[in-house]
A and B are shown apart, each in its own frame.
Chain A
Amino acid sequence: MNNEFDVIVVGSGITGGWAAKEFCEKGFKTLVVERGRNVKHRGPEYKDFEAPWELQNRGMPAEELAENGHYTTLRQKGHLYRTDALQFFADDKQSPYSFPKDKPFMWVRGHQLGGRSLTWGRQVLRWSKKDFQANANDGHGIPWPISYDDLAPWYSHVEKFIGVAANKDGLETLPDGEFQPPWEMSYAERFISDNLAKRYKDRHLIIGRSANITQPTEEQLKLGRGKCLARSYCRRGCSFGAYFSTQSATLPAAQKTGNLTVVTDAIVERVDYDDKTRRATGVSVIDAKTLEKRQYKGRAIFMCASALGTVQILLNSKSATFPNGIANSSGALGHYIMSHFTGVVASGDVQVEEDKFAFGRRPIATYIPNYRHDKLMDADFVRGFGFQTTAQHRSSVSPPAKRPGIGIEGKEKVGQSGPWKFRAFMYGEILPYFDNMATLHPTQKDKWGMPILHIDAEVKENERKMVKQAAKDIEEMLIAGGCSNIVVNAVPDSKHIPLGKQIHEMGGACMGSDPNTSVLNEWNQAHDVANLFVTDGACMSSTATQNPSLTYMAITARAANYAANLLKKGLM
């Protein structure tokens, strides 16, 4: 195989797939290097046609996995630890990372072709003007070098391609985009939404915006993608190609051009750098099966290995010029590690008519966007939080598996309809703290010889205050929404809130205008190395409250367009 390419893309997940598609469509010979195995679209690893009784061990992973210390992080996530999609999650026994004992960090990864694009929740939300202004306004972190307006056309570009089912809600804090018909709310969700609208001007319950297509476009049909049929088995891989993933969308689009080369089972160990030309020359990889090392050369390198995956590689890319990691003259590499956090979970019964039900498994929740931002009102913190919420179906009486009750009596009530239960999970914006950081472990290496990542990050006072306010707010909203039996659980100050749990880790190679304080410029180009770009979550200078992947995709497409122009002009 020819080892020289125009562009090397590291990682094949949501952002890597986008970088590959954009460069291939622009005519560049593109190599995607993926550490995990090849996963074929509609291949045997997809389990979307398995009924509950057909799942391996009825969904329960073999017990010896837990006994032998496998999947520690995923087991803590509970609902993700099932045999329907276990194949798409990395085992942290195999790919370890570390954290201080008192600050557990949850790093949920997908090490295979497609990365976490196969298992993600598909909630796709634009950031608003305020979100990009936040760092500059309140002085926390590095001010964003781009604004909403810079990204808006790229949001549109991405939305048209991936397919977003959403309602045009007309909210300043959550801009509308290029939408396909939305999913419908349940009767109970609509009831709460209407009640909140009567009470508040700035707090809205909306239907989630989901990358599941409800009205396929010509382009989507040509890629073999079909309409979503509401099975909610998305994380098993969708044979209809109805949700956006690398396999269903960006990879086939890139492959069509004839410009794409994909190598799997190839772990990028470092970005190679030439101290004389001050350019990245390519990447060094370790063969995941044979441990053999080899190199690929490229004119431009796009880092898309996921926020922390990219930070690990960059820190490990040491040279005479960059003894502490490539493109790290600022010393900011590995700093400002962030992730959304939750500290409040609330529920309530919705008081509505008896004869109302729902049918189907809608693949998206409802959402209460951030309504605080710079509006401090009664609050003593900066930024804000939103809530991922749902009352998709009426509850029903569960079998008494974990409570007393057997025999006819225990059985007869099972399945009977109960009230609609509305549930809300806070998603808070953590501030960018310089001392929340990731470093290479001084001694520990993984089985491939790569130094493991040590992640030292925690929520601080601002976030604790948010938790308290979120608990008050959601209780008030559940009452205003028409709920009874309200239960609000807030994490007490004494209890650690693990970052990473929401699987929205960000930062580590932040964008900024000042090369002395940030790693990347406004085009995601390393200040120090002109042909090195980082477009996954590592580039984020703040987290906002919205799920981030749509923003990563828009940023990736924008940076790829910029890099493509430089390549065309021979400037890289």
Chain B
Amino acid sequence: MLYVVSTAVIPFELKSSLKLTVFKSDASFFNAEQMTLAHDIADIMIPKTHTPGASDSHAAQILDELMVSWASLNTQQQMLSFLSEFKDRARDLHNNDYLLMTRERRLAYLVEIDQNAFEDTTSPFLIAYKRFKELIFHLHYTSKEANPEFILVPGGYKGDVTEDELQAIYKRQYL
């Protein structure tokens, strides 16, 4: 049986210490619970540093939209199973609900899965994890937030510029 914890049961005072963004209502495809989970995994995978993270680029929310506009039934199912098993495994391994684990423990749990995923190529769960990761990375790194230097119309091509010259061009946003 799937173990499901409602985001509603996370004690209010814990939310900030858990550094968790809790979604209260269902999104287009994922329910609030799944959205909270997807968003958190994405945020741990690509945290905000001096550059924006997956929360800033709304990678998980966009994934949710793509589940409707892009994903096949198989992929939809794969993502749902992944999120569900992700929680179950956390419970089995750490004897705790993933969403109630500290950020550090959530990170450790994810790092372990990430390492295993590239060693074991047969487990459906790990295959699904890699797929989820690839999608989150794609959505983040094609986002506006992750590409502050993107220039739609460069104006020309220069094949030999120094770093300083390059920065000056980015500043004026045109060759």
Contact = CB atoms under 8 A, between A and B. Distances in A.
Interface of A: 49, 51-53, 56-60, 62-64, 67, 183-187, 189-190, 229-231, 355-362, 392, 399-408, 410-412, 414
Given A64-B72, A406-B114, A408-B49, A358 B44 contact: no
B69 A57 contact: yes
Nearest to A362: B157
B152 A51 contact: yes
Interface in B29-82: 44-47, 49, 51, 53, 62, 66, 69-72, 74-75
A406 B161 contact: no
A190 B166 CA distance: 19
B133 to A, nearest CB: 6
A189 B152 CA distance: 24
15 contacts: A52-B143, A57-B66, A57-B69, A58-B138, A59-B142, A63-B71, A186-B160, A229-B155, A231-B153, A358-B157, A360-B175, A406-B45, A407-B44, A407-B107, A407-B111
B163 interface: yes
A358 B165 CA distance: 10
A490 B141 CA distance: 32
Given A59-B142, A230-B156, A360-B156, A67 B72 contact: yes
Contacts of A356: 160-162
Interface residues of B, number: 51
A231 B154 contact: yes
B159 A406 contact: no
A311 B175 CA distance: 46
A63 B70 contact: yes
B78 to A, nearest CB: 11
B163 to A, nearest CB: 6
Contacts of A400: 137
A399 B147 CA distance: 13
Going nearest first, the 10 A-B pairs with the smallest beta carbon separation are A360-B157, A401-B137, A186-B159, A63-B72, A360-B154, A362-B157, A187-B160, A57-B70, A52-B142, A406-B45
A67 B49 CA distance: 39
A74 to B, nearest CB: 17
Contact of A402 (B72, B134, B144): B134
B123 interface: no
A67 B74 contact: yes
Nearest to B119: A404
Most buried by A among B51, B161, B165: B161
A57 to B, nearest CB: 4
A414 B146 CA distance: 11
Interface string B126-142: 00001001100111111
B76 to A, nearest CB: 9
A401 B162 contact: no
A230 B175 CA distance: 10
A401 B134 contact: yes
Given A51-B144, A58-B66, A359 B150 contact: no
B114 A183 contact: no
Interface string B107-125: 1001100110110000000
Given A57-B66, A401-B138, A407-B111, A190 B159 contact: yes
Contacts of A405: 114
Contacts of A58: 62, 66, 138-139, 142
B71 A185 contact: no
Nearest to A414: B141
Most buried by A among B72, B115, B175: B72
Contacts of A231: 152-154
B138 A229 contact: no
A52 B150 contact: yes
B27 interface: no
B169 interface: yes
Nearest to B164: A355
Nearest to A207: B159
A163 to B, nearest CB: 16
A391 B163 CA distance: 18
Given A357-B166, A358-B158, A407-B47, A53 B143 contact: yes
A56 B68 CA distance: 13
Nearest to A227: B156
A352 B169 CA distance: 22
Nearest to B75: A63
Nearest to A59: B142
A472 to B, nearest CB: 29
Contacts of A401: 133-134, 137-138, 141
A112 B137 CA distance: 35
B58 to A, nearest CB: 10
B159 A189 contact: yes
Given A49-B152, A58-B66, A406-B45, A357 B107 contact: no
